[in-house]
Chain A
Amino acid sequence: DVKVTQSSRYLVKRTGEKVFLECVQDMDHENMFWYRQDPGLGLRLIYFSYDVKMKEKGDIPEGYSVSREKKERFSLILESASTNQTSMYLCASSFPRGLSPLHFGNGTRLTVT
């Protein structure tokens, strides 16, 4: 079974802190994704990576950056956390083929105070 592991299930940070959310997958997937999930808004794509060191902006990249130094690991970085970044963050991975499903981690619920 594909396993996508997010390092934290719950995280509480202060405004202005630098926050790292880590994601690791074990299926040698080329593609990795970070989504943000908010009630009533569904899932929105923050960033996408199709290879090591390669990244593309999604629909809502402002305030976020990403890092992919190894194929299995994809990090989401909040350079200076703000309260409006309080949300559920979901990492996913997949092969780059249309019908290949995205496999998701369990999510990190981030609260910024």
Chain B
Amino acid sequence: AQTVTQSQPEMSVQEAETVTLSCTYDTSESDYYLFWYKQPPSRQMILVIRQEAYKQQNATENRFSVNFQKAAKSFSLKISDSQLGDAAMYFCAYRRPTGGGADGLTFGKGTHLIIQP
């Protein structure tokens, strides 16, 4: 079974600074899908960014970008110019290739991101 590890239970960053959240995963597949979700206090899970392992180019969505290191099985999330609204739990997730068998994302345990004003 795949596992996703987020080694930082909590991170704190000053507003306007840059922070990187780490994520590693374990898989024997060559193609798969990786996601970062954000969960603010409202509890709504919000997709932040996604990446297909087949594509080596790192995904970017405005202030959010990833550093995808396939050989190292690492998928870290960088948040630039941190804003107070970025404060949330962040979950890294892995999805196996489609076709046969169970679908669904495997999630890490999450990183609680605190933004200091």
Residues of chain A at the chain B interface (Cβ within 8 Å): 31, 33, 35, 40-45, 48, 50, 56-59, 88, 90, 92, 94, 96-99, 101-102, 104, 106-107
Contacts and interface: CB of A to CB of B under 8 A. Distances in A.
A102 B105 contact: yes
Interface residues of B, number: 28
Given A42-B108, A42-B110, A43-B91, A98 B97 contact: yes
Nearest to B96: A98
Nearest to B44: A106
B28 interface: no
A26 to B, nearest CB: 16
Contacts, number: 64
B102 A56 contact: yes
B11 interface: no
A contact patch SS? strand
A96 B98 contact: yes
A99 B97 CA distance: 9
Nearest to B1: A59
A58 B102 contact: yes
B35 interface: yes
Nearest to B97: A98
B102 A41 contact: no
